[in-house]
Amino acid sequence: SRAVEAGVALVPADRQRDGSVGSLSLGDNVTIRVLHKYQSRVGLNRSRMRSDARKLLEHFDVRPLDPRLKYESLSGGNQQKAMLAKWLQTKPSLLLLHEPTLGVDVGARQQIFQLTRTAAADGAAVVCVSTDYEQLAAVCDRVVVFGRGRIARELTGDQVTKERIAEECYRVAES
């Protein structure tokens, strides 16, 4: 809770187990981080929550666009876009992504890349942990390759390509 208060957002690799409540509605999942906005003297303003959730889901292109659906009923890509919506609405200063495109289709993958780039352009520091070299090359300005728990290589600028990342990872694994 202290990390969240400090502006840290985490989109975990296992979004169903660690990032959401599958039995809750999609609307509840995307508004859970900002519930305080909907509190009143008599409880939660559920109609305003649903309305705001719908706008948020539309903005993040989550399909189907129905906040009443169970989160677990969505495809992997739509679940991931919903997780990004949940966190990016909080305007985090640090966005931590762990395998952000794991189990998502090609179309959603590109949307997730764009949402990540937009978050960075809006001022968030974005840290992406991934074993997907293409993903790293698409979203990162800098890639750090670890070996034996330490930084082994750092790639920046034109060095950040899928091929170069793969090459450095294999070099580090061999050493």
Residue 175 pLDDT greater than 90, yes or no: no
Burial of 110 per CB tally in 10 Å (0-12, 13-18, 19+): middle
Whether the bond into 92 is cis, omega within 30 of 0: no
| pLDDT > 70 fraction of the chain, expressed in percent and rounded | 100
Q: Rounded to two decimals, what is the model's pTM?
A: 0.92
Report pLDDT for 163. 97
Report pLDDT for 125. 97
Residue 92 pLDDT greater than 90, yes or no: yes
More confident residue, 54 or 138: 54
Report pLDDT for 30. 97
| Digit-coded pLDDT (tens) for 5-43 | 999 999 999 999 999 998 999 999 999 999 999 999 999
Q: How far apart are CA 99 and CA 37, in angstroms?
A: 30
Is the distance from CB of 95 to CB of 4 less than 8 angstroms?
A: no
Residue 158 pLDDT greater than 90, yes or no: yes
Residue spans of alpha helices (H) in 42-126: 46-59, 76-88, 106-121
Residue 106 CA to its chain's centroid (Å): 16
Residue 86 pLDDT greater than 90, yes or no: yes
| Digit-coded pLDDT (tens) for 106-135 | 999 999 999 999 999 999 999 999 999 999
